[in-house]
């Protein structure tokens, strides 16, 4: 009986020591800490912008067959999580209505924590000249929509012009018209003020836009005023 009492007393003392040392602490407090840790880790630090679109049709003057290249220009805080940053369409011929039909898909998802440098779609349209060379037939750009929903955008096209009459004659004789070395220049403001251009048709693009976690970061995208401005 004496040994049994000692064993009971010893076990009680051991349990008390384990509890005080933290090995057998309160399970409830440990569970609360786990919940707080998981909730803090799930807090969003970035938002997602997902775009599914199509480069549908174009009207371009003075050419019978064209193809289109697209590039996506965006700021340093943006990264592409899925999709392609650039692409090139098939060559298409003008139909009876004077339209060029591509229906070329553009699918991309961005991740960012800052709306600065919002992505832009850059279009470069090329066609053959009388010598069979592929020359630029039009450039255009548009920001991706800043609100969720469906959109149809008409993007005006323009082509660079020679800065002098002599250069224009030289370009015609050589069969090489002025082009942009990097089409992403269209997404910038620097250096464009001295560029001479001429309008040359338009391209129709459709967008389906979905956003995630914008409100959690304090960005308003669904109010009536913003929705009206996006249309």
pTM above 0.85, yes or no: no
In this structure, the number of other CB atoms found within 10 A of the CB of residue 78 comes to 20
CA distances from 58 to 26, 73, 150, 187 (A): 69, 21, 19, 21
What is the per-residue pLDDT for 225?
47
- The alpha carbon of residue 22 and the mean position of all alpha carbons in its chain are separated, in whole angstroms, by 50
User: Hey, which CATH number is domain 47-230, 2.60.40.150, 3.40.1010.10, 3.40.50.2020, 3.40.50.920?
Assistant: 2.60.40.150
What's the CA gap between 147 and 80, in Å, rounded?
A: 18
Q: Mind giving me the DSSP string for 10-36?
A: HHHHHHHHHHHHTTT--HHHHHHHHHH
Number of alpha carbons in the 13 Å side-chain half-sphere of residue 43: 8
Given this model, what pLDDT does residue 134 score? 84
**Tokens found for residue 148:** 């969720």
Question: With 0-12 CB in 10 A as exposed, 13-18 as middle and 19+ as buried, what is 91?
Answer: middle
Q: What length does the chain have? A: 231
The pLDDT of residue 181: 81
- The counts of H helices and E strands in the chain are 4, 10
What pLDDT score was predicted for residue 187?
Answer: 84
Q: What is the pLDDT of residue 222?
A: 58
Q: Give residue 167's pLDDT.
A: 63
Residue 191 tokens read as 């250096």
Task: Name the 3-class secondary structure at 225.
Answer: helix
Return per-residue pLDDT of the chain as tens, 231 residues. Answer: 444 444 444 444 444 444 444 444 454 444 444 443 333 344 678 999 999 999 999 999 888 899 999 999 999 999 999 999 999 999 999 998 889 999 999 999 999 998 999 999 999 999 988 777 788 999 999 999 999 899 999 999 998 876 666 666 666 666 667 778 888 888 887 766 667 788 899 999 999 999 998 888 877 765 454 545 444
């Amino acid at each position: 009986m004496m040994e049994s009492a000692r064993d009971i007393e010893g076990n009680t003392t051991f349990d008390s020591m384990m509890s005080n040392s933290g090995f057998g602490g309160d399970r409830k407090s440990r569970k609360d800490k786990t919940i707080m840790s998981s909730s803090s880790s799930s807090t969003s630090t970035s938002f997602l912008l997902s775009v599914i679109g199509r480069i549908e049709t174009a009207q371009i003057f003075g050419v019978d067959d064209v193809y289109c290249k697209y590039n996506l220009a965006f700021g340093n805080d943006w990264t592409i999580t899925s999709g392609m940053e650039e692409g090139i369409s098939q060559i298409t011929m003008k139909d009876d209505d004077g339209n060029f039909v591509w229906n070329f898909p553009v699918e991309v998802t961005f991740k960012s924590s800052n709306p600065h440098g919002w992505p832009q779609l850059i279009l470069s349209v090329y066609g053959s000249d009388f010598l069979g060379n592929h020359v630029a037939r039009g450039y255009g750009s548009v920001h991706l929509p800043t609100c969720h929903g469906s959109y149809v955008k008409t993007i005006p096209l323009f082509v660079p012009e020679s800065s002098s009459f002599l250069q224009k004659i030289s370009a015609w004789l050589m069969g090489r018209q002025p082009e942009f070395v990097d089409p992403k220049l269209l997404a910038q403001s620097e250096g464009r003020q001295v560029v001479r251009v001429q309008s040359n048709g338009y391209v129709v693009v459709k967008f389906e836009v979905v956003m995630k976690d914008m409100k959690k970061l304090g960005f308003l995208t669904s109010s009536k005023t913003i929705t009206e401005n996006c249309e």
